[in-house]
Amino acid sequence: MGAPAPLAALASDLVPPRLWLERLALIVPGSAATRWLLLADGGCLVAMGGATRWPLLGIPAALGSGFVALNLMGMAVTDFYLGLALFHLAVGVTAAAVLHRARWAGASLVVLALALGILT
């Protein structure tokens, strides 16, 4: 068996269909940064759940819906890490839109997710 051929030498039907994911690597944070962003996501989801009329029901509902949304985003783009990056942005934008007193939390999550995606 010889060495594998470079992608440019392969026929166009043999090129992996997810090659476009490599172009989006600039916005996908590294694994260590993702752990910290998940904590920030959880904080924003808790803040959104706590802003409801019944926080004892709102907080678990917000965390549960966030978990479902994270899995759906991962399945929709067929790459979990890209779905995770989109989830960070979606939680940040939603928190900035929904929270009135803590709007800064959502905006800072968006800025942090984009900055860590570029830097890691």
**pTM of the model as a whole:** 0.78
Instruction: Count CB atoms within 10 A of the CB of residue 25.
Output: 11
Q: pLDDT tens for residues 31-66?
A: 788 889 999 999 999 999 999 999 999 999 999 999
Is residue 109 pLDDT above 90, yes or no?
Answer: yes
As a whole number, mean pLDDT of residues 80-96 equals 92
Which residue is associated with the tokens 């978990």?
A: 67
Q: Which of 97, 24, 94, 29 is nearest to 65 (CA)?
A: 94
Helix axes 31-50, 103-119, angle to 10 degrees: 170
pLDDT of 50 = 94
Q: CA distances (Å), 82 to each of 28, 30, 50, in order?
A: 6, 11, 28
Please say if the pLDDT value at position 95 is more than 90: yes
Report whether 41 contacts 109 (CB < 8 A). Answer: yes
Instruction: Calculate mean pLDDT across residues 85-90.
Output: 93
Q: What is the pLDDT of residue 7?
A: 52
